[in-house]
Chain A
Amino acid sequence: ETGVTQSPTHLIKTRGQQVTLRCSSQSGHNTVSWYQQALGQGPQFIFQYYREEENGRGNFPPRFSGLQFPNYSSELNVNALELDDSALYLCASSFLNRGNTGELFFGEGSRLTVL
């Protein structure tokens, strides 16, 4: 089975620009979550998508938005970039079903630098 893949691996943007990050879920998974990992910190939950709908959101402003597609791939969009948005963005997929452990499988991340 294929793992979680993310693109691009690195990118540089300037303040005020917009960015789209992409994620391909692991085969058989129906849920995708996005996390922001600032340098030297643990990942922070941005949001989760289940069956193409947002299924939970962390403490991030509306300029962080996402999409999940019928093939369970996903996008994270960030508008009006700020310097503090510089971070590693992790995508994680899982199979959401009542009673399972919710184990997440992570991609390698997209390193965003905002200048």
Chain B
Amino acid sequence: AQTVTQSQPEMSVQEAETVTLSCTYDTSENNYYLFWYKQPPSRQMILVIRQEAYKQQNATENRFSVNFQKAAKSFSLKISDSQLGDTAMYFCAFITNSGGSNYKLTFGKGTLLTVNP
């Protein structure tokens, strides 16, 4: 079974500080992609960052970076210089490419991040 576990249902951080959201996953596939999605109160899910499993280098997008540990099946998200607009539900997810036929995203239950002024 393919699963994603986010062990922190809620987190809070002060504006301008750094916060790390944790995620572990389980899959028997070797070729997959990992994502962090953000869902603000307006509901639309938007992509924050993605990581190809075959790449050892951790992905970085401006203030967002990941710590990808393939052997441990761990994929944490670090947000630096937190801003009020980062307040949202954050979902960790992965997608496998089984011969290119099925792109089902498996999501965790999410972490509600609140950035305090």
Contact = CB atoms under 8 A, between A and B. Distances in A.
Contacts of B35: 103
A5 to B, nearest CB: 11
Interface in B88-115: 91, 93, 95, 97, 99-110
Interface residues of A, number: 30
A99 B100 contact: yes
Interface in A1-59: 31, 33, 35, 40-45, 48, 55-56, 58
B108 A101 contact: no
Contacts of A88: 43
B44 A45 contact: no
Contact of A58 (B46, B99, B104): B104
B107 A42 contact: yes
Nearest to B109: A42
A31 B103 CA distance: 10
A93 B111 CA distance: 24
Interface string B38-54: 00001111110010100
Contacts of A99: 100
B68 to A, nearest CB: 15
A55 B98 CA distance: 12
